[in-house]
Amino acid sequence: MLDTLIAFAGHWLGGMRIDVTRYVIFSVGVWLTLWVVLAAPLASRKIRENRPPARQLLTEFVVSIRSIMIFSTVGLLTFGLFRAGLLPGPYIARSWGPVWFWTSLVLMIVAHDAWFYWTHRLIHDRRLFRIFHRRHHRSNNPSPFTAYSFDLGEAFINGVFVPLWMILVPTQWPVVSLFMLHQIVRNTIGHSGYELFPARKDGRPLIPWLTTVTHHDLHHAQAGWNYGLYFTWWDKLMGTEHPEYLKRFADVTGRKDRKLETTSSPSPA
């Protein structure tokens, strides 16, 4: 019994260490890179003129660590099943070879986007919002530290996806690690406040089926639109894409070009 408790405690602490490390590296890294080092050259890509106060950033960081504690606790489910020999998926997935390795990663990302969209819409219901999602929207002007700034219920909803996926779909553990890496990269960038995605000449996103920073920033500014996490297709299909999204994206990505045109235009005689 004691050995089992020690094993579970060790797994919980190990999961905490890995997730906290990922969160700190990317939240601090994105903040330091965009908000400090490249703030001047990327000024035209800043979505909003003002910045959130330091107190908000600190609160987001502390709440995000709390969310990671919940993720690690929920993760004990898969650890317990695997330890008991009731989770054969990782072994099955390994026997299916490298093609399934990468296929399962893509499928996991696509499935997580669907999970996020529909659970996200659910907790925006007025009867659930205050309990499940209010904390995240207190960051009306988000920052990279907003990534995991969740209420307890929302942290559980986000954390339970991986155990459910592992139970239902044969997936190797390294695939889960790559999935988590992709998730935190997209999450911190999506809350960064700087539009980093490229635009076409007509001002539309170069890759229209990927959510941009403007896409999610609009959700924080005006809740009720843009529920997607990685892809835009659910919002397009369900009619929940912000009606001014493409215009806002074009405005942000076209600022530098307009400034150059103004600077280079000849002075009137």
Residue 264 lies in a domain: no
Residue 269 lies in a domain: no
Whether the CB-CB separation of 135 and 55 falls below 8 Å is answered with no
- What span, in angstroms and rounded, lies between the C-alpha atoms of 177 and 174? 5
Nearest to 63 by CA among 188, 152, 144, 132: 152
Q: Model confidence over 191-213: pLDDT tens digits?
A: 999 999 999 999 999 999 999 99
As a whole number of Å, the CA-based R_g of the chain is 21
The answer, as to whether pTM is greater than 0.85, is yes
> Whole domain around residue 187: which residue ranges?
2-257
Whether the CB-CB separation of 142 and 191 falls below 8 Å is answered with yes
Helix (H, G, I), strand (E, B) or coil at 250: helix
Alpha carbons within 13 angstroms on the beta-carbon side of residue 215 total: 27
Beta strands in the chain (DSSP E): none
- What span, in angstroms and rounded, lies between the C-alpha atoms of 248 and 60? 26
Predicted pLDDT of residue 4: 87
Q: Model confidence over 158-185: pLDDT tens digits?
A: 999 999 999 999 999 999 999 999 999 9
Residue 194 lies in a domain: yes
Residue 267 lies in a domain: no
The pair of three-digit structure tokens given for residue 213, joined into one six-digit string: 């920073």
Q: How many domains does the chain have?
A: 1
Residue 13 lies in a domain: yes
